[in-house]
């Protein structure tokens, strides 16, 4: 596996691959890799000849008081996992490489407000502006043919798809299904914040979402009541609910009677750990 830390190093490798007529996939991550990330790398292998995995903890998508400083950084372990997964190039830029003039004085993007200011965006203002800014920079540096994102962060996936369309990138966004632990909890780097006593309650997030998705599919006219009941069920499991909402999968809008492809999304707190998850909901 090759490694690059600078723009020049990355572009030199990409140029060689391009001259050889090879197709390139990008897997953007913040590191602390787990099986969910490795599923993205495996999906990238099915789509391209060469895989670039980036590891960069982006300060622009963390608000003041969030866990930027303690976000787990495990580069050597990540490196070993990527070698075993047959990644072709690991890109580990510094802040200076991504933001040559510093994150506070950089050219930045604004995510589409209709997608970015709701759900996660309502709780974390500016978060998706930071996401699209760094993703666009990675796209510009790596020039991939495809980029792979996990469905666990469904709103992020929708936001990045819109940014890709709006800015005219000639690449495809590939979604990959959420990878879960034995109890149904979506794999996440932040799961390591959970203690043993919090784990059972955290696993109820997926169970309640499955219940809600099944109920909405069966009786879509009762969506609001199902959302309220799901909220109550999560609270009864000891989870502090940020939101639980059924939206149109394509654009996160409030579903209309004719819509069939929906998604139920939720964010909760288990102790001091914030968890997000979502599930598809197909109305017959």
Through-space distance between the first and last CA atoms of the chain, rounded to whole angstroms: 46
Q: Torsion angle of alpha carbons 141, 147, 151, 152, nearest 10°?
A: -30
**Can you tell me the distance from the alpha carbon of 160 to that of 111, in angstroms, rounded to the nearest whole number?**
8
Helix axes of 75-84 and 35-47: crossing angle, nearest 10 degrees: 40
Asked if 115 contacts 251 with a C-beta cutoff of 8 angstroms, the reply is yes
Q: Which residues contact 2 (CB under 8 A, 6 or more apart)?
A: 13, 88, 89, 90
Assign 33 to helix, strand or coil.
Answer: coil
Q: Which residues contact 25 (CB under 8 A, 6 or more apart)?
A: 44, 45, 47, 48, 50, 51, 52, 144, 145, 146, 147, 148, 174
HSE-CB at 118 with a 13 A cutoff on CA atoms is 18
**CB atoms < 10 A from the CB of 218, how many?**
12
- Residue recorded with tokens 């930045």: 108
Residues designated as active site: 37
């Amino acid at each position: 596996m090759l490694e690059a830390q600078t723009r020049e190093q990355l572009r030199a490798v990409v140029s060689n691959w391009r001259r050889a007529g090879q197709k390139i996939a990008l897997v953007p991550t913040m590191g602390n890799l787990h099986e969910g990330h490795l599923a993205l790398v495996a999906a990238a292998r099915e789509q391209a000849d060469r895989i670039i995995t980036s590891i960069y903890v982006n300060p622009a998508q963390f608000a003041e008081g969030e866990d930027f400083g303690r976000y787990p950084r495990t580069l050597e372990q990540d490196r070993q996992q990527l070698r075993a997964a047959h990644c072709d190039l690991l890109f580990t830029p510094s802040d200076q490489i991504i933001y040559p003039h510093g994150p506070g004085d950089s050219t930045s993007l604004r995510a589409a407000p209709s997608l970015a200011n709701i759900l996660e965006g309502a709780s974390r203002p500016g978060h998706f502006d930071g996401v699209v800014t760094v993703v666009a920079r990675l796209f510009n540096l790596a020039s991939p043919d495809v980029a792979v994102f996990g469905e666990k962060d469904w709103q992020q996936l929708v936001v990045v798809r819109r940014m890709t369309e709006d800015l005219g990138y000639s690449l495809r966004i590939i979604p990959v299904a959420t990878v879960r632990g034995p109890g149904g909890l979506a794999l996440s780097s932040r799961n390591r914040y959970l203690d043993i006593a919090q784990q059972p309650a955290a696993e109820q997030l997926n169970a309640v979402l499955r219940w809600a998705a099944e109920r909405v599919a069966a009786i879509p006219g009762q969506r609001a009541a199902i959302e309220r009941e799901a909220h109550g069920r999560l609270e009864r499991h000891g989870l502090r609910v940020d939101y639980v909402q059924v939206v149109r999968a394509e654009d996160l809008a409030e579903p209309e009677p004719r819509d069939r492809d929906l998604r139920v999304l939720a964010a909760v707190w288990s102790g001091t750990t914030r968890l997000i998850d979502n599930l598809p909901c197909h109305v017959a």
